[in-house]
């Protein structure tokens, strides 16, 4: 529940990272660690496993990218989908895993922190806009 000083920001009551997203991040980071160190080579089909992990881990990115294509908008998710497809096509599966499991959560966290800082900066304004000029 949002505290009294939250100014009605009910989203503060929500966890920063949903459990399913955290599980997805851990899965992709683990896959990147195992595939990047070559441990998966003993099982064979390392590239195929990396593609599967990238597709499963990148599902939210791909879903939003498709929605953005339908709406004819260029967004971060669409750019990342293009980068992921390109990395997979040239065989850079480890890079695709890093984009999916590391870069995406870091970008989301930075965007969250930035929006919170803007809210704090706007809330700290004691003088309404235009009041100082009169």
What's the token pair of residue 75?
Answer: 């967004």
Question: Cα–Cα distance between 77 and 61 in angstroms, integer?
Answer: 6
Task: Give the pLDDT of residue 61.
Answer: 87
In this prediction, residue 71 has a pLDDT band, given cuts at 50, 70 and 90, of very high
Average pLDDT along the chain: 77
What's the token pair of residue 6?
Answer: 């939250």
Q: Cα–chain-centroid distance for residue 96?
A: 13
Using DSSP's 3-state secondary structure scheme, residue 101 falls into helix
Q: Is the pLDDT of residue 129 over 90?
A: no
The burial of 94, by beta-carbon neighbours within 10 Å (0-12 exposed, 13-18 middle, 19 or more buried), is given as: middle
Task: Give the pLDDT of residue 59.
Answer: 87
Question: Cα–Cα distance between 109 and 50 in angstroms, integer?
Answer: 24
């Amino acid at each position: 529940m949002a505290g009294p000083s939250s100014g009605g920001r009910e989203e503060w009551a929500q966890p920063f990272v949903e459990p399913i997203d955290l599980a997805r991040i851990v899965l992709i980071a683990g896959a990147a660690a195992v595939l990047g160190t070559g441990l998966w080579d003993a099982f064979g089909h390392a590239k195929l496993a990396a593609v599967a992990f990238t597709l499963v881990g990148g599902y939210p990115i791909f879903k939003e990218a498709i929605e953005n294509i339908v709406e004819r908008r260029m967004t971060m998710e669409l750019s990342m989908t293009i980068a992921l497809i390109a990395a997979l096509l040239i065989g850079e599966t480890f890079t695709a895993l890093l984009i999916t499991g590391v870069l995406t959560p870091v970008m989301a966290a930075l965007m969250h922190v930035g929006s919170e800082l803007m809210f704090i900066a706007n809330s700290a304004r004691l003088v309404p806009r235009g009041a100082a000029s009169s």
